[in-house]
Amino acid sequence: MPKNTTTKPDDLQVLAALERKILWLASWMIHNANHLRESSDGLKVGGHQASSASLATIMTALYLDVLRPQDRVAVKPHASPIFHAIQYLLGKQTRERLEAFRGYKGAQSYPSRTKDADDVDFSTGSVGLGVAQTLFSSLTQDYVRAHGWSLDRPEGRMVALVGDAELDEGNIFEALLEGWKQGLRNCWWIIDYNRQSLDAVVREGLWARYEQLFQNFGWNVVIVKYGSLQQAAFKEPGGETLRRWIDNCPNQLYSALVFAGGAAWRKRLNDEIGDQGDVSRLIERRSDDQLAALMNNLGGHDLPSVLDAFHNADPEKPTCFICYTVKGFGLPFAGHKDNHAGLMTPQQMETFRQAMGVRPGHEWDKFEGLSLATDQLQSFLDRVPFSSGGARRLGAPTLDVPDSLPVTIQPVMSTQTGFGAILNEIGREDSNFARHIVTTSPDVTVSTNLGPWVNRRGLFARQAMADTFKSEHIPSTFNWEFSPKGQHIELGIAEMNLFTLLSALGLSHTINGERLLPIGTLYDPFIARGLDALNYACYQDARFMLVATPSGITLAGEGGAHQSIAEPLIGLAQDGLASFEPAYVDELAAIMRWAFSYMQKDGDAAPSEQNWLRDETGGSVYLRLSTRPVEQIQRTMTPELRQQIVDGAYWHRKPGPNCQVLVAYTGAVAPEAIEAVGLMAEDRRDVGLLAITSADRLNAGWTAAQRARERGLVHARSHIERLLGDVPAHCGIVTVLDGHPATLAWLGAVAGHRVRPLGVEHFGQTGSLAELYRHYGIDANAIVAAAQAVAPGRPIRHLKALP
Ligand SMILES: Cc1ncc(C[n+]2csc(CCOP(=O)(O)OP(=O)(O)O)c2C)c(N)n1
Ligand SMILES: [Mg+2]
């Protein structure tokens, strides 16, 4: 039920004073940063000043009155200065960082969980993603509580401050649909309806589309259009005429008049509704300044209006607030369509400083220029509920991971089948570890082999839903029963939602104080579909396991639309994501075992001397798996082998001292690599076979070790440097994977060997596996031909002519 809390008049007065202060500090911060930049590299700060001002009132109301410690907020990227200014007033941000806004180690241009020091809840920057993150965080909170965790903490509201142009991002609508399916609650999206984007003024009447749209998805929509001055004026004789005029005024014209000021308002209003008796008198009673104040008094700049709207929201329903605002409100370029990158000139800033009563040299003083007593202001800030709850970053104990993940290895098996089997085994257990795993998939649960796990652990929904096929006794392989205890969250197809949900689940330890071990599955090529959301999740340091399968042209019959090429390069380059592509199921089990522990790490220990990787800092993990059945190796998993698999490579066949050529392979093309080595054994000496389980980790260790040596640690050696250390300089290397050849091409630079990288560079097509491997040049014959080219010698007898 609505709380109907109202804010006391004294507090309103303080809030109004602090709102002015916040706008001042934010504007000063940007002005200051601009001078800093201009003097160094001439770059101007863009996008912040006008965009921030638009949200000053709303954010003052939220942070200083409405929000509670358990609430979490995604702030529109360009409102970052307002956020930092508020944190400064609350004692959570330093003056030094504000002075260095946008500078080295200063407050960040866009709020950042990982780079800012003042408790950003959700990073923003790529518009649309922070908005969806709040929705999935609310679902995550429900998941955690439904499982009986974090019940000693009050439920938080997940709040997004959304730019109106931000709503053009499709991922927001994908999230909306998912929110409806999952029974979203405790979620607020506050739209800063300033009717301006970066370039210009937005289309007319968008608010009505938003209203219908949100209502269709089960949201409450609250329109905060008129401020209290306007509401009072509408009650005066002629007020209704004025309201109609405001309602019919096009966005562009309203913005232009806001910019032009009181005299322009008067002329326009008189021209259009002037000779209508009462309304003329309503206009005449006001000076130019008063008229401008009235016309600019949109709901989003009126503390009583926004406070009233926020305090009366119903937590059981998601709520969208459409708050009318003016971009650049309170600043000289308010409303101007070109104001996005607008900056106040030194003269304008000087006028603003005087109007704010700020003395030169006192620009950063917290209460400078405010007429209320310092004690009153400080004691108000000390009582602000939002900052009364101690540390905002929560923690959760590390979950014990079993020493090994058991799995029955069939003689011939794919890594995808292995993944399903490993999870199925985990699903049998009633351990704390197993209980904290949560899986999710965008409508590819069954085809990525999560089915057996889901059969054991059930699907999650806040309300139980039976599997009708089961209750009707119709045989089915899969048990599709939903309950609050289920451990699989089934998503619609949108991959953006998968990554945003993983981002939310993967931050549960710090947001909800309960750690989850999220695993998301999808087809490898569709990583590209959600790539920005994946990048966003990593940037926030969310922790999850991404299992991408099937992958590559190995998926022969499916054709080019389903065959991934570039994803191994994404795995190599994506920060915060350790990527693996195992060939065998015992490798996969070793990697997953390590990954569950890596996902939980949060230390700052120095890199390990064994691989030069910073494993103690932890991160997320990407497993690129395949549906290709591969003959498995019968072997005992020794601790040494396990470590090498995790470090990224091991000798499948160690080369002899006179090795002329070695083949380095990754993933499901292992049989081709093995076959090729066999074919050339008679004609090249000591051929080696290097199994690469993680090009990413090998590469990262290699660059880190080089940097360490450059800093003077002369003995630093990475794993790949050790492996290739004894390989003679004249030895050629053929690398091969079912993905872009550049993934492994760098291996030649490690110790100066000549490399011929094989892989897939062009869109695939349908065909049999043998046909496609031959066509794209990653079959055994192509490997042999490449070996002959990089390691000349007598002709390799088994080599056939290439197609
Ligand atoms: C994904 C993405 N595309 C483009 C941008 C560049 N950009 C930053 S703000 C903005 C427009 C913002 O308009 P709105 O959301 O209405 O906020 P306002 O500036 O009006 O406050 C754009 C296009 C971005 N940050 N992220
Ligand atoms: Mg806008």
Q: What is the pLDDT of residues 307-347, one digit of tens each?
A: 999 999 998 899 999 999 999 998 888 888 888 777 888 89
Ligand 2 centroid to residue 240 C-alpha, Å: 28
Distance CA 608, CA 719 (A): 11
Q: Assess whether the C-beta atom of 198 lies below 6 angstroms from ligand 1.
A: yes
Q: What is the DSSP string of 91-133?
A: T-S-HHHHHTTTSTTSS-SS--TTT-SS--SB---STTHHHHH
**So what's the pLDDT on residue 38?**
54
Strands 437-442 and 488-491: parallel
Structure confidence at residue 790 (pLDDT) = 95
Alpha carbon distance 416, 397 (integer Å): 31
80 contacts 52 by C-beta, under 8 angstroms: yes
Cα–Cα distance between 393 and 395 in angstroms, integer? 7
- Tell which residue, 439, 467, 409, 629, has the closest CA to residue 546: 439
The mean pLDDT value of the chain amounts to 94
Give pLDDT, residue 682. 87
pLDDT tens-digit map of 572-610: 999 999 999 999 999 999 999 999 999 999 988 788 888
Tens digit of each residue's pLDDT (9 = 90 or more) over 478-528: 888 999 999 999 999 999 999 999 999 999 999 999 999 999 999 999 999
Tell me, what's the pLDDT at 275? 81
Could you tell me the distance, in angstroms and rounded to a whole number, from the CA of residue 45 to the centre of ligand 1?
15
Q: How far is the CA of 160 from the centre of ligand 1 (A)?
A: 15
Ligand (nearest to CA of 339)? 1
- For residue 586, count CB atoms less than 10 angstroms from its CB and return exposed for 0-12, middle for 13-18, buried for 19 or more: buried
Q: Tell me the per-residue pLDDT of 428-473, one tens digit each, with 9 for 90 and over.
A: 999 999 999 999 999 999 999 999 999 999 999 999 988 888 888 8
Task: Determine the Cα–Cα distance for residues 283 and 204; give it in Å rounded to an integer.
Answer: 26
Rounded CA gap, 772 and 283, in Å?
78
* Protein residue with its CA nearest to atom 23 in ligand 1: 198
| Identity of the residue numbered 485 | K
255: which DSSP letter? H
Q: What is the pLDDT of residues 268-286, one digit of tens each?
A: 999 999 887 899 999 999 9
Residue 23 has pLDDT above 90, yes or no: yes
Ligand 2 centroid to Cα of residue 200, in Å, is: 9
Ligand 1, closest atom to CA 128? 1
**What pLDDT score was predicted for residue 470?**
81
What residues contact residue 527 under an 8 Å CB cut-off, 6+ apart? 495, 534, 546, 548, 564, 567, 570
* 197 CB near ligand 1 (under 6 Å): yes
Query: What's residue 4's pLDDT?
Result: 47
Helices (H), 383-490: 415-428, 432-435, 451-457, 468-471
Mean pLDDT of 714-721: 96
Dist CA 111 CA 113 (whole Å):
7
